[in-house]
């Protein structure tokens, strides 16, 4: 049985695609987008339902309001029905289409930023440390079919939360997969985020110009994540591309615009304003800069905007090309200047008529938080009163030793809100039963003298900076206060250092491991030294000076200590390898017998 595309059926029946999806949902058909397909039998049922709706809408209203007239003879005359014309249809306001918002997602180094570079004809990857995107950015591209807003999301695992936020504000998700590597862990994660956000997915199979590219394997592997390509009879659009040569990118853009047309994305420029913070950072010259995606209404310079408990008046606004603009309509990503503090990425943006209304909105938000916290605290108290704590819970299980938790204290600074969010996520993962990560302060921008003073109040506190650098005066104060400031440009290096720091705080666990074994072949008497040396042959591994040693005789340990010295002929040596003869001098033992075994071990720290 052949399949029929939902948007094609809607077009044939002159019905809005969204209404078509509503009808299918009412019928119990799981149709996610207008690009999905249904079978012929379902299509016929839909046609019948729409035909019935059309008949009911076209039928004139009949209303019998006339009372039957009475004749002189007392007989009632037949009443004629009064036909009441249907009211004139109210012409609904036509809400215009808006540009689609597309998020680019996928595994690190699969070519997401390179794809955007080609579309925008700019170089973004070169500006990013290590060649990886570490911030969320919104960019506009003008295509032959209209404007498209692209949201670039980082691919590294530390930015899971940022990718989730990127998918939540997008209309379409483009999953970039390298044809040379196919699906990777973060590819699957990105697909999961897009599905959770319930947005249509287009797969861009990148790097098809590489010799080891295997497009067919990617197509097949997509079935593992329940994305069936159109070429396999499914609904998922998969386009082979090369971000380096540009091959297939025009086709990818065509499919993005086609899918956007099918989704019928509309927003009212005259409606109530609604937006979302995509990114926020502190610029040394300008101050706080926030990237806002306009979703409804129009944003204008001089408007008062409110984000959570912050508000500001827009002093300047630039578009995706860096040009100053005075207004921004739905589907536009703009950078605004006007906040005194850094708003949190992902927060909704509202507009206020004036400063007084902005303050009122903030006070309402604060009060709502207080009410919610009060209710939560009351519920917690009630729960604790009803739960009886046993003696075992109070004192711990018999034999259990209560260990005080160690603390790693940090002040964290980053260049953007997105980076700061990622750092907090990394540090939160490192908390365990033995170590607690205590963040005294987490903020945007370079570290200040106040940060150094704050860190100096806590023993061993460190200041960790990501993509920001401390000024000379701050460094001098840090040296004076003996506060360590560590700066990173690559996320991987920061993760490694955090893990080292955590391991250094946990009480080390040591283990003794055998590294060598020797057999005593003869006893060498040294009268001047006042003792005997074991003339030995190394059977396995190696012997090391100062190494821990055991003397084994008849399979029993008769002595334990350390090696005082090793000799090869007349020379003192640090170690002797397997297959060589040597003289062994032990600290405090010289009663050797031929056939004794000397086992040498070293104590090493066991990492978790």
Q: Choose one of 505, 525, 559: the last residue of a domain.
A: 505
Cα→Cα distances 91→55, 87, 88, 267, Å = 20, 12, 9, 18
Q: The domain spanning residue 299 has which CATH number?
A: 2.40.30.10
Do residues 496 and 519 both lie within one domain? no
Sign of CA dihedral 490, 495, 497, 498: positive
Out of 30-34, 213-217, 338-342, 457-461, the most confident range is: 213-217
What was the pLDDT predicted at 241? 96
What is the number of domains present in the chain?
A: 5
Q: Which tokens sit at 535?
A: 């003339």
pLDDT digits (tens, 9 = 90+) for 89-128: 555 567 888 999 998 988 888 998 889 888 877 545 555 5
Percent of the chain clearing pLDDT 70 (strictly above): 80
d(CA 8, CA 37): 9
Residue 523 · residue 535 · CB < 8 Å: yes
pLDDT at residue 388, as a whole number: 45
Range from 16-30, 45-59, 376-390, 529-543 that averages highest in pLDDT: 529-543
**Chosen domain end from 341, 358, 375:** 358
Which pLDDT belongs to residue 558? Answer: 94
pTM of the model: 0.61
The position carrying tokens 């036509």 is: 94
Q: 81 lies in a domain?
A: no
Is the per-residue pLDDT at 401 higher than 50?
no
Residue 65 lies in a domain: no
Regarding whether 416 and 436 lie in a shared domain, the answer is: yes
Residues whose CB falls within 8 Å of the CB of residue 141, separated by 6 or more in sequence, listed in order: 119, 120, 147, 148, 150
Give me the mean pLDDT over the 170-187 stretch. 91
Q: For residue 438, what pLDDT is reported? A: 86
Residues 302 and 438 in one domain: no
pLDDT at 485: 93
- Kind and range of the H or E element at 569? none
DSSP string of 83-120, one letter each residue: EEPPPPPP----PPB---EEEEEESTTSSHHHHHHHHH
Looking at the structure, do residues 189 and 145 belong to the same domain, yes or no?
yes
Identify the band that residue 384 occupies on the pLDDT scale cut at 50, 70 and 90.
Answer: low
530 plus 463 within the same structural domain: no
CATH code, domain with 436: 3.40.50.10050
Residue 590 covered by a domain: yes
Q: Are residues 159 and 224 in the same domain?
A: yes
In a domain, 269, yes or no: no
Q: Is residue 181 part of a domain?
A: yes
Tens of pLDDT, residue by residue over 278-310, are 888 888 888 899 999 999 999 999 999 999 889
Query: Looking at the predicted structure, is the pLDDT value of residue 608 above 50?
Result: no
Whether pLDDT at 431 is above 60: yes
Any idea which of 117-121, 249-253, 340-344 has the lowest mean pLDDT? Answer: 117-121
Q: Which two tokens stand for residue 95?
A: 């809400």
Are residues 155 and 245 located together in one domain of the fold?
Answer: yes
Mean pLDDT over each residue of the chain, to the nearest integer: 81
Mean pLDDT is lowest, of 18-32, 46-60, 81-95, 458-472, for 81-95
* pLDDT band at residue 474 under the 50/70/90 scheme: very high
Q: How far apart are CA 112 and CA 252, in angstroms?
A: 13
548 secondary structure, DSSP code: E
Whole-number pLDDT of residue 402: 45
514 and 501 within one domain: no
Look at residue 76 and tell me if it is in a domain: no
Same domain flag for 501 and 515:
no
pLDDT at 158 over 60: no
Reported residue count of the chain is: 608
Strand 462-466 with 406-414, pairing: parallel
Average pLDDT for 382-400: 48
Question: Are residues 264 and 17 in contact, defined by beta-carbon separation less than 8 angstroms?
Answer: yes
* Owning domain of residue 236: 101-263
Please compute the mean of the pLDDT values over residues 541-545 and round it to a whole number.
Answer: 90
- Per-residue pLDDT, averaged over 433-448, amounts to 85
Band (205; pLDDT cuts 50, 70, 90): very high
Q: Tell me what pLDDT residue 159 has.
A: 62
Please report the pLDDT score of residue 397 as a whole number.
46
Residue 563 has pLDDT above 60, yes or no: yes
**What confidence tens digit (pLDDT) does each residue in 41-55 have?**
787 887 877 777 776
Region 400-418 average pLDDT: 76
Rounded to whole angstroms, how far apart are CA atoms 559 and 162? 61
Inter-helix orientation angle 160-168/185-196, to 10°: 40
The pLDDT, as a whole number, for residue 527 is 73
**Is the pLDDT score of 478 beyond 60?**
yes
**Who wins on pLDDT, 410 or 38?**
410
The residue ranking higher by pLDDT, 149 or 406, is: 149
Q: What is the CATH number of the domain that holds 109?
A: 3.40.50.300
Same domain? For 286 and 175 the reply is: no
Q: In whole angstroms, what is the distance from residue 469 CA to residue 576 CA?
A: 49
Pick the more confident residue, 401 or 577. 577
137-146, 152-161, 230-239: lowest mean pLDDT where? Answer: 152-161
Distance, CA of 597 to CA of 497 (rounded, Å): 43
Residue 389 forms part of a structural domain = no
Report yes or no: 33 and 236 within 8 Å, Cβ to Cβ: no
Indicate whether 498 and 413 sit together in one domain. Answer: yes
Q: Are residues 227 and 303 in the same domain?
A: no
- pLDDT-based confidence at 399, cuts 50/70/90? very low
What's the pLDDT at 327?
Answer: 95
- Among 461, 483, 505, where does a domain finish? 505
The answer to whether position 543 is within a domain reads yes
Q: pLDDT tens-digit profile of 498-528?
A: 777 777 665 556 678 889 999 999 998 887 6
Question: Residue 510: its pLDDT value, please?
Answer: 67
On the question of pLDDT at 154 being above 70, the answer is: no
Buried b (16+ CB within 10 A) or exposed e, 66-79: eeeeeeeeeeeeee
Q: What angle do CA 27, 31, 33 make, to 5 degrees?
A: 135
């Amino acid at each position: 049985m052949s399949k029929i595309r939902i948007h094609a059926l809607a077009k044939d029946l002159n019905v809005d695609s969204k209404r078509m999806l509503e009808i299918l949902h009412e019928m119990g058909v799981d149709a996610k987008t207008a690009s999905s397909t249904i079978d012929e039998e379902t299509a016929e049922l839909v046609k019948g339902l729409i035909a019935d709706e059309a008949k009911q809408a076209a039928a004139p209203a009949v209303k019998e309001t006339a009372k039957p007239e009475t004749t002189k003879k007392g007989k009632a005359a037949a009443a004629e029905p009064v036909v009441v014309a249907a009211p004139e249809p109210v012409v609904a306001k036509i809400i215009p289409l808006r540009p689609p918002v597309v998020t680019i997602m996928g595994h690190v180094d699969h070519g997401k930023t390179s794809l955007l570079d080609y579309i925008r004809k700019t170089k973004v990857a070169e500006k990013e440390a290590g060649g990886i995107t570490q911030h969320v950015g919104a960019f506009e591209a003008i295509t032959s079919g209209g404007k498209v807003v692209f949201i670039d999301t980082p691919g590294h695992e530390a930015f899971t939360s940022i990718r989730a936020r990127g998918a939540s504000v997008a209309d379409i998700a483009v999953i970039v997969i390298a044809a040379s590597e196919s699906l990777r862990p973060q590819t699957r994660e990105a697909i999961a985020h897009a599905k959770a956000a319930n947005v249509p997915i287009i797969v861009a199979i990148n790097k098809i110009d590489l010799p080891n590219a295997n497009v067919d394997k990617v197509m097949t592997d997509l079935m593992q994540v329940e994305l069936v390509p159109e070429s396999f009879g499914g609904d998922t659009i998969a386009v082979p591309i090369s971000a380096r040569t540009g091959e297939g990118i025009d086709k990818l853009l065509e499919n993005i615009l086609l899918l956007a047309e099918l989704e019928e994305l509309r927003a009212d420029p005259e409606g109530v304003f609604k937006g979302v913070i995509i990114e926020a950072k502190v610029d040394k010259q300008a101050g706080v800069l926030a990237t806002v995606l306009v979703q409804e209404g129009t944003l204008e310079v001089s408007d008062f905007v409110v984000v959570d408990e912050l508000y500001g008046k827009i002093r300047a606004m630039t578009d995706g090309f860096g040009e100053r603009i005075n207004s921004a309509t739905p589907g536009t990503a703009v950078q605004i200047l006007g906040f005194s503090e850094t708003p949190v990425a992902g927060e909704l943006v509202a507009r206020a008529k004036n400063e007084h209304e902005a303050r009122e909105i903030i006070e309402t938000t604060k009060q709502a938080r207080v009410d919610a916290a009060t209710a939560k605290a009351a519920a917690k108290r009630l729960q604790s009163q009803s739960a009886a704590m046993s003696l075992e819970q109070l004192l711990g299980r018999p034999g259990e030793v209560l260990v005080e938790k160690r603390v790693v204290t940090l002040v964290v600074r980053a260049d953007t809100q997105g980076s700061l969010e990622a750092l907090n996520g990394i540090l939160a993962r490192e908390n365990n039963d033995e170590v607690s990560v205590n963040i005294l302060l987490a903020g945007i921008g370079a570290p200040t003298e106040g940060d150094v003073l704050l860190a100096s109040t806590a023993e061993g506190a460190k200041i960790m900076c990501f993509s920001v650098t401390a000024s000379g005066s701050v460094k001098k104060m840090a040296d004076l206060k003996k506060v360590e400031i560590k700066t990173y440009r690559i996320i991987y290096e920061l993760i490694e250092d955090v893990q080292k720091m955590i391991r250094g705080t946990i009480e080390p666990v040591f283990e003794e491991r055998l590294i060598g074994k020797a057999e005593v072949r003869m006893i060498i008497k040294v009268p001047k030294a006042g003792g005997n040396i074991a003339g030995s042959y190394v059977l396995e591994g190696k012997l090391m000076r100062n190494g821990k040693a055991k003397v084994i005789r008849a399979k029993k340990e008769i002595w334990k200590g350390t090696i005082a010295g090793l000799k090869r002929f007349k020379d003192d040596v640090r170690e002797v390898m397997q297959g060589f003869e040597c003289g062994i001098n032990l600290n405090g033992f010289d009663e050797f017998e031929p056939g004794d075994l000397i086992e040498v071990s070293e104590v090493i720290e066991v990492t978790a």
